[in-house]
Chains A and B, each alone.
Chain A
Amino acid sequence: MNFSLFTRHSTLCSIFFGCLFLPISLSFGLGSSKILGDISWLDILGEGSLVILSAIWVLFVLVSRPPGKVTSALVIGLSLFLFSACLDLFDEWMHYDNRAAYLNMFESIPAAFGMVIMSYALFQWHQELLIVNQQLQRRELNLRQHDQVDFITKLYDADYMREQINDQLKHSGNPTFSVVMLDIDSFDSFNRQYGHDEGDRLLREVSELILMNLRSLDLVCRYAGDRFILLLPNTDRVVAEEIAEQIRKAIVHLAYKPSRGNNAVYHSLTYVAETASMEDKIAEAILSRVNRRLDLSKQSISAMAI
């Protein structure tokens, strides 16, 4: 697990630990312990697991979300619930005299408040996700699978694209989408000259540029190595080639600055567009077609260079 976000929540952490230790000191300070025969171990088991699990939930929120309104509301709501759950747990051991009887009456109130705050937080979270979905447009279609995201470019990988193409083939009797394969020219020699970290950064920048040049319903994934793949729904080959040409022009004008030296390095791109046909039953058919054509045009380019 990655705990780097944890350090950015100092206020929320103190609220969480406050809600954990305040009930402990309250009940041990004000109450006196019960005799052993009166303790119901089954209750302790049930209420104890509530305490432990809600504490784990708070920790998960803290390590996975950056600071913000939604994060604060989630943590405060869960912490209030934790507060009640702790009081509930400790009165299994402790017995309060009349002076502190209000603790028993009072113990469920914070949980109710906590639940209200949590509900508000979940509504806000829903709103936030709608925004995030928009930000992710062109990176994903109607399916979210975080384990299929490529490590370097944060685009989805070839498996995801294959599933999406299969989905398109399944749901439309007469497929009308196009697939474009893009390949950066002489990426290998760039890697050798500037190192692999620079190569990885170049891939990230190129993926951003491709994203910028796509329409809102298109999808881009990293296929393999320096190869990217686009899925363009409701698009014929002419429009697909037009879009690919626009991306090629954008890449040609990208003045990439390696971290050593100020000289810009320019890149070119080879692309091939294919439209799905009635005969395509699986993604593999159309993918192998565009791959082969791309290889042929790359070979003719290197032959011309020689």
Chain B
Amino acid sequence: MKLNNSKTINIEDKLLPAHQYAASLFDLVTSRNVNKHKLLRGTRIFQEDFKSDKMLSPQQLLQLTHNANALTPGNDCSFQLGRRLFPGNYGAVSNALMYSKDFGEALRLLSILRNQICPFLEGNAYSSIDKQYLLIKDSFGDPTLLQFFIEVYCSALVSTSKLLYERRIPFNFSFPFQRPKHIQEYEENLGYKLAFSQPIFSISFDRKWLHTKCTHRSDSLKWYSLKQAKMSSIPKLGFLEQVRKLLMKNRQLSLKQAAAVFSMSPATFKRKLSLHGKTFQQIQDELGKQYATFLLQMQHLSNEESASLMQFNDIPNFRRAVKRWTGQTPSQLRLT
């Protein structure tokens, strides 16, 4: 199996339009009296870029977000940005989502078009009998901005659901960080079903929403928008996403084998991973932690079932691995 590198977006690739995320953030922050030059410092972005067709790299957007986070007064910058992102300047992508039949279809469209509208976080969907789960990870490995992006895209998700249904879908949010002091912003923007200090970041909701009809649904308009959105030059997958996909299919893969799949030498592969803020071992551990938490904490499966689903051959090995990933034994994790 070989993968084509041109199909992924790397942290340095200038492929994201300046007039979308960057322009929304720039407008919001400068409306709060933040100095424009300080905001753009170190980003290699110029104010004129927002009006042009200029493309920016994820790295530049991360730097801009860093500056904005540091300079903006108050705690609501990320939430306000989230509310503005959708429908925002995303054109065809927004339209395709807006005209979806139901929330399930909107999520399927999002999984195809995600890199165009939400390049910083990526997720996988899992379901149980009555619940739908989204387990989410960062795409560019910047831990200092993780909470900011979580706030942005959670509030974007909630305000999207308000647009689709004219009311909020009651989401449950589990956050991997402590309960923040500005809890009022979370309650106002995301609702009250919030859990903090969780092992992994996840969003869940009732499965009935997957099939609840949206207010503005229209098949023909949706297909047209989707066709337009698919013409975008933004690759479908991020680099880390590609690596994770590969490792989820085959957990036992070594660094050398993975590098071979990407047609790189192990050294180049390592260097590219560290450019995205990760090591190979870290990615494997994060995936293990996420899946184990899902099976044990959310699904309350037994050790035997979980171990076999995670391709472990013996239980003691599995218990040791869970303890290393999450700091808790499987039985402790099941109780929380």
Contact = CB atoms under 8 A, between A and B. Distances in A.
Given A158-B184, A196-B28, A224 B191 contact: no
Contact of A224 (B28, B32, B167, B187): B187
Contacts of A200: 31
Contacts of A242: none
Contacts of B162: 188
Interface string A195-238: 01100100000000000000000000001110100000000000
A33 interface: no
A157 interface: yes
A303 to B, nearest CB: 8
Most buried by B among A223, A225, A227: A225
B74 A291 contact: no
Most buried by A among B76, B80, B166, B184: B184
Interface in A261-306: 287-288, 291-292, 295, 299, 302-303, 305-306
A151 interface: yes
Interface string B51-78: 0000000000000000000000110100
Interface string B20-33: 00000001100111
B44 interface: no
A43 interface: no
A157 B79 CA distance: 16
Contacts of A197: 31
Contact of A188 (B28, B79, B83, B184): B83
A159 interface: yes
Contacts of B27: 196
B33 A151 contact: yes
Contacts of A92: none
B185 interface: yes
A139 to B, nearest CB: 17
Contact of A223 (B74, B80, B188): B188
Interface in B116-150: none
Interface in A175-203: 188, 191, 196-197, 200
B28 A227 contact: no
Given A196-B28, A196-B84, A225 B188 contact: yes
A151 B189 contact: no
A150 interface: yes
A295 B187 CA distance: 10
B192 interface: yes
A288 B188 CA distance: 11
A116 B262 CA distance: 80
Given A151-B73, A306-B166, A295 B32 contact: no
A235 to B, nearest CB: 22
Given A151-B73, A196-B28, A196-B31, A159 B181 contact: yes
Given A158-B184, A224-B185, A291-B192, A302 B167 contact: yes
A299 B181 contact: no
A223 B184 contact: yes
B136 to A, nearest CB: 23
B182 interface: yes
B159 interface: yes
Nearest to B181: A159
Contacts of A150: 74
Given A188-B159, A188-B162, A306-B166, 15 more contacts: A157-B74, A158-B184, A159-B181, A191-B83, A196-B28, A197-B31, A223-B188, A224-B76, A224-B187, A224-B188, A227-B188, A288-B192, A292-B192, A295-B192, A302-B167
Sorted nearest first, the 6 A-B pairs with minimum C-beta distance are A224-B188, A224-B184, A158-B184, A225-B188, A302-B167, A224-B185
Interface of A: 150-151, 157-159, 188, 191, 196-197, 200, 223-225, 227, 287-288, 291-292, 295, 299, 302-303, 305-306
9 contacts: A196-B27, A196-B28, A196-B84, A200-B31, A291-B187, A291-B192, A303-B167, A306-B166, A306-B167
